[in-house]
Every structure is written in structure tokens, then in C-alpha cells.
Amino acid sequence: MNVTHLECALCGLRHEAQRLLNLCRECGKPLLVRYDLDKAKQSLTKESLGSRRPDMWRYREVLPVADDSNIVSFGEGWTPLLPAPRLGNSIGLSELYIKDEGQNPTQSFKARGMTAAVSMAKELGAKKLAVPSAGNAAGALAAYAARAGLECFIFMPRDTPRANVVECEQTGAHVTLMDGLITDCGAEVGRRKEAEGWFDVSTLKEPYRVEGKKTLGYEVAEQLNWELPDVIIYPTGGGTGLIGMWKAFDEMEQMGWIGSKRPRMVTVQAAGCAPIVKAFEKGERFAAEFPNAATTASGLRVPKAIGDFLILDALRNSGGTAVSVTDEELIAATGEIGTTEGIFCAPEGAACLPALKKLMADGQVKSTERVVLFNTGSGVKYMESFG
């Protein structure tokens, strides 16, 4: 294990690794894992990857688990980066790809974060895990907790897609459905966790889900032969994947794998819940809670993200932007992607397409640029969205 310490993403305060920690003890912001990358790169080389396991644990040296026996895995990650020539041609783009995270265990990108978080919780002695979720994170936690032999307590809005609720129940989780939004569910976990002995694995309220998500960045680089794309378009609720990729690019540069050039990072949100878009447009570093959040893309219905400043920093530092799309646009895009490329996207992933069209229309993306869209999950989880 090459972990040196945990570091607050905002104030920089150093925290000891190998302890169950949630947020910075000084400012209450997210903690990030730091590594001895000089040591990591001695065995983790581009050449070594050719003979490694075809999942995200191929990047073992830059993942946090100390003892391999604590890794709780279903073979997550190493999802295909699919060329989308027919879709690209239809919108006038010469090089378009879709990173299809729906092919993960539990059918979403949440598997990446939960394999890392549950493995570390197991290693550090947690017995009961709790999470608020809009759906896919709950399904992933329930599955990984069951595989690890840990108890799991899940709080979801009452109108969460039925498939997610059934998935959690059938994998042994204690499921509570609540009136309100994911923020209300998070508040309930916060109120009860100490008395109940739960370890809170909420998005960015522990340091390890982002470590699993950062493997998205490693994979995109490896799959494109270490030439990063010009633009990455990413559907953003809590934003862990975008934050993780940005972290991965920095790690890869420090190890000498890539140069300083970065993709322009683009956040996509639903018009009915667009706190990051609003903050970006106003030039603010922190996003206010979005009032009356509503969208059929349940994973985008996050009115307040604790990692807001990390998302906004990545957008601005990369020369990227933030775009909102309507529910009508993202549902129509699901059919358009499905018809042209055969991928049944989650509504969140489909939202990337109308965002791309808007960016092309106003000249922010050129027809010759290499663009990667992220489909974060499978459309089969969202039957209610399609009437």
C-alpha cells in the first residue's frame, strides 16, 4: 500500500490514514487520499498493465486497501470505451466515444466507488454501513456490503425507481423510504449514525468512494493509448466521478504517464436541479442549495453537493463549462443513443447528448475534437422514466 495520508480538499489539513474518518476535523470538507507516487510507479507502469486483471483493481498501487484479502469485488471497472460513429456522424462530430458504465456490476458506475469504500470499511473494522441514495449508490452498497458480510442501512426518497428498491431489499439491506430528497435522507443518516453505530459512506463524506471513481480517468487514458480526449462530458449529481477523474489525471502526470494537457471537463445537470450550473454561471466557488429540485433522472436530483467547490474548480481549471438540459431533452436522447448505437443509457447518461449538441451549436466543441460521453448506468433501472 502506498497511501501516505489523508488531506482536506479545502484547507489542506493532514489526517492520519488507516483510520475510519469521514470529513475534515477542522472545516468539515471532504478528505482525499494521498499516495507515495514515486513508490507506486516502480511497479505500476504502462507496460505492466498488459498482463493485469481486467477490472479497476489493475491500478492496485494507487488504490487504498492495504491487505488484498480485504478487497470486496465483483470484477467492477474496465468497462468499454465504445466508439459511437453513427451518433457522431448524425451530429457532425468526427470522433465520439461513450464510456458505458452500465456494464458494471449492479449496472452503474456506483460499483467503482462502493468496491473501494466497502473494502476500506471492512479493513478498518466497520460493521454497519449507512448511506442516503437516489438509487444506484444504494444498490451498489447493498451488494458489496452483503458480499463483505457487513450490515447495510439505506435511506432513499420514496419515489426512487422501484428497481433500485427491490435490488437493495433482495441483497439484504435495511431499506427506509422517506418523503423528500436525498438531502433529507442524508440528514436522517447524520442524525442517527452515532447512536446506531453506522459508518456513513455518503458521497464524499468518506475518502474512498472517490478513489474507486478515479479509475474512470485511468481507464479512459489507457483505452485511448495515453492521449486524453479534448472534452469529457459528465452527468453530475454529487460529482464524485468528475472529481475522481481530475485527481487521476494529476496522479498520472506526477508518475510521468501523461503531460499537463487536460480535457475540458463539462458538467451536465437537469434543468430542474442545476446547482453547479447556477454557481458556474455566477462565478461562485460554492453552490447554493437548489430549491424545489425535480427531475426524472434521479441520480441528478442532488440539490446540494458537498464537493461543489471541487467540481467547480475542475471545470474552471480545465477551461470547461456546465450545461443544463430539460427532462424532455434527456429522455429523447435516450432513444436517440439507443437507436443509433444500441446502448440503453440511464437518463443521466443520455443527458450528455443534448449538452454536447448545445456546445457544438455555440462553437464550444468543434467537429474535429475527440469527445467522451459518460453513460453512468443502465436504462433498465429507470422503467418509470419511459412511461
| Residue range 354-365, pLDDT digits in tens | 999 999 999 999
- Residue 9 included in any domain: no
User: Does residue 97 form part of some domain?
Assistant: yes
3-class SS shares of the chain: helix, strand, coil, % to 5: 45, 20, 35
Query: Per the domain annotation, does 168 fall within a domain?
Result: no
- Domain encompassing residue 321: 81-108+212-386
Domain total for the chain? 1
For residue 238, tell me if it sits in a domain: yes
90 located within any domain: yes
Length of the chain: 387
Question: What pLDDT digit, counting tens, does each position of 132-184 carry?
Answer: 998 899 999 999 999 999 999 999 999 999 999 999 999 999 999 999 999 99
Domain membership of residue 235 (yes or no) is yes
Domain annotation covers residue 302: yes
In the chain, what percentage of residues exceed pLDDT 70? 100
Q: Which H or E element spans position 375?
A: strand 370-375
Question: Across the chain, which distance is largest between two alpha carbons, in Å?
Answer: 57
Per the domain annotation, does 255 fall within a domain?
yes
Residue 306: give its domain's CATH number: 3.40.50.1100
* pLDDT band per the 50, 70, 90 thresholds, residue 1: confident
Q: What is the pLDDT of residue 357?
A: 98
Q: Is the pLDDT of residue 387 over 80?
A: no
Contact between residue 49 and residue 58 where contact means Cβ atoms under 8 Å apart: yes
CA dist 190 and 180 (Å) reads: 15
Least Cα distance to 375 among 326, 322, 336 occurs for 336
Q: How many CB atoms lie within 10 A of CB 250?
A: 16
Provide the pLDDT for residue 306.
97
| DSSP helix/strand/coil, 177 | strand
**End-to-end C-alpha distance for the chain, whole angstroms:** 48
Please name the amino acid found at residue 196: E
